[in-house]
Amino acid sequence: MKSRKLKFVVLLLTVGMLALGILMTNHQAVDPQAEQFEMLVENAYPPLPQLPTFDPPIPNPKMDLIKNPLANLSAEREVRLRRNSFPLHYHSWLGIHTQHLQAMIKLPDANGKQYYMGTYSQNHSDSEGGMVFVAEVSSGNTGDVIWIDELTAEHLSGGYNHPGDLHKIGNYVIVAGQNWSECIQDSFFGCLLHTQSFILTKRSDLQNVLFYDVVNPAKPKYIGQLNRCLEGNDYRQFGSDSQEIDTISVAHSNGYYYLSFGRGEDGLKCRSTTFDPNAQWEVIDKTGDSGDSPAYFYYGGKSYVGKASFDGTNVVFKKFRFRQEDTNRLTENTNAADMEEVVTEKTSPMGYWANHYSVSSLPDGSYCVLSTKVVSKGDLFFKEKCQ
């Protein structure tokens, strides 16, 4: 009998506690102070605008085929960009440039708008890093900077004050990440006055190729960096001794991605089966290429894989030329992947004032040539010719 009474009391207590919990929950749900607080939070932090959605990235980029290298290019146009409060400002001190535009490439169009990616550098270290940026052009010859990646010390890459050369291959872009010393080398007295230093150099050993995913051209994604390749049982790191990473290049052929750091005897050339900064890249040559753009093009009934460059007047298309006896030698000096000219598109001179050119292939089978003036004063602009 006592056992039944005890069970009944426990049951009543359990039911009571459940009822009390429901009442408290209901009370909290209709608490006007809580609702008011939630509204204040929502108003203080409004939702960010949603960017357009794009297809997810693929592990290895597919190069854009240039259908007709000899198709006429448009007349040259000048595109000027509004900074929109981003810190892409030209500075000088006693006539010495301390920030400047470096290079520009064209990204694929999206949502009826044109997108461009560029680099903006400074000649010395300070609290600001160099910048990788994207500009959007809706119509006409004026656009807006809409995104930057400031390469400060807090950046995932570790930071670079002097990003430079850049190239697109499929849905990826590579950028030359470089640090210049505290001294601006334009003039000895300017260097001495500005930094109180006698060091007249622009190089540091910290140099890398930065990788960006540009599937969404309005908002690229940094995915990593690379500056060393496997040589035998050890790694050869680029940037030691007197090596400069001022030019880089990339291409794809025979199942391999080729990446070149620097130029000539101060460079390094590597290859990998996967276009990934964390993949294993192998040394194939201890010299680097010039900073030509990757090119996959159709000409004379055949398709070729190689590179394209602009010399100020002509667009030159080259193919890879492989030497059979060298194709499997990955850890010795080799000319397994040198270049041979296929066709040249002669056009009118472009940007006589410019000192950096790039060739950007596009998904519709066309290409554009862009020119910039490194260390340009004041305005943020570039010039362009497209098919």
95 and 32 in one domain? no
Residue 264 lies in a domain: yes
- For residues 15 and 148, membership in a common domain is answered with no
Tell whether 53 is covered by a domain: no
Quick one: 135 and 17 in the same domain? no
Please check whether residues 15 and 106 belong to one and the same domain.
no
- Verify that 97 and 231 share a domain, yes or no: yes
Report the C-alpha gap between 124 and 282 in whole angstroms: 33
Residue 188, φ and ψ in degrees, nearest 5: -60, -45
Prediction pTM value:
0.77
Are 13 and 85 found together in one domain? no
> What integer pLDDT is reported at residue 383 of this predicted model?
92
51 domain residue, yes or no: no
Residue 130's DSSP bridge partners are: 151
What is the sign, positive or negative, of the torsion defined by CA atoms of 334, 340, 345, 348?
A: positive
58 within some domain? no
Is 57 a member of any domain?
A: no
CA distance 80 to 381: 4
In a domain, 55, yes or no: no
Q: Which of 79, 173, 78 is nearest to 119 (CA)?
A: 173
Instruction: List the CATH number of the domain containing 158.
Output: 2.115.10
Residue 326's contacts (CB-CB under 8 Å, 6 or more residues apart) are 334, 335, 336
- Statement to judge: residues 26 and 108 lie in one domain: no
Q: What are phi and psi of 44, to 5 degrees?
A: -75, -30
Is 145 a member of any domain? yes
Amino acid residing at 220: P
Residue 122 lies in a domain: yes
28 and 103 inside one domain = no
105 and 242 in a single domain? The answer is yes
**pLDDT number for residue 134:** 97
33 and 83 share a domain?
A: no
Domain coverage including residue 19: 2-44
Tens digit of pLDDT at every position of the chain (387 positions) = 545 555 554 555 555 555 555 545 444 444 555 555 444 434 443 344 344 444 545 568 888 999 999 998 988 999 999 988 777 765 555 555 567 788 999 999 999 999 999 998 875 555 568 899 999 999 999 999 999 999 988 888 888 888 989 999 999 999 999 877 655 444 454 444 444 333 434 455 578 899 999 999 999 999 999 988 988 888 888 766 566 777 888 888 878 888 988 776 777 888 899 999 988 899 888 777 767 898 999 999 999 888 899 888 889 999 877 554 344 444 344 444 567 888 888 777 775 567 788 999 999 999 999 998 876 556 688 999 999
Total domains in the fold of the chain: 2
Q: In this structure, are 192 and 275 located in the same domain?
A: yes
Asked if 274 and 204 sit in the same domain, the reply is: yes
